[in-house]
Amino acid sequence: RYFNVYGPRQALSNPYTGVCAIFSARIKNRHVPLIFEDGQQSRDFIHVSDIVKANLLVMNDPRADDQVFNIGTGQPTSILQIAQLLGRLYGGSPPPTLNQKYRAGDIRHCSADIQAIRHLGFAPQIALEDGLKELVTWGREQAAEDRVEAAAKELEAYGLTSG
């Protein structure tokens, strides 16, 4: 089970691709990052290269046969921290907007228990800030259409936000 995967080559123009790509598109288009709730909800962010390493490990280790593994870092990071860090890495961004709205189905905190895959020798290698630097370096060269406002209106129209 993959947790919040980020890294280069994400679809920066897709408002459903993941918060790192969404915030990148907002910042690149000189828009303030939009955060639901209060920004303190947390997720486990793992770099795509660590996902590749985990996949190769379980494909080549017979102890992994018929097992289920959580693939993450085991470290929660708040959504607000992600927005602030990306803003700094892109060279500055106004403080994020905390809209205090809640999306149906969102959970407050989510981080991986990676003990099972650690027993196979897996350990995440890419520190969050280093991975985000790589995303930003790649992202600077990419076109990114900011579609967050339209996606937020769609959620509201379907009654999937409250607050």
Distances in whole angstroms, Cα of residue 24 to Cα of each of 12, 103, 107, 122, 135: 7, 21, 22, 29, 9
Distances in whole angstroms, Cα of residue 90 to Cα of each of 30, 73, 86, 133, 153: 10, 24, 6, 9, 27
Tens digits of residue pLDDT in 26-60: 998 899 999 999 999 999 999 999 999 999 999 99
Tens digits of residue pLDDT in 19-34: 999 999 999 889 999 9
Whole-prediction pTM: 0.90
Tens digits of residue pLDDT in 86-130: 999 999 878 898 988 888 888 999 999 999 999 999 999 999 999
pLDDT at 41: 96
Highest mean pLDDT among 11-25, 64-78, 93-107: 64-78
- Closest to 95 in 3D by CA, of 103, 105, 106, 87: 87
Kindly state the tokens that stand for 76. Answer: 């929660």
Return the bridge partners of 71, or none: 2
Alpha carbon distance 150, 19 (integer Å): 16
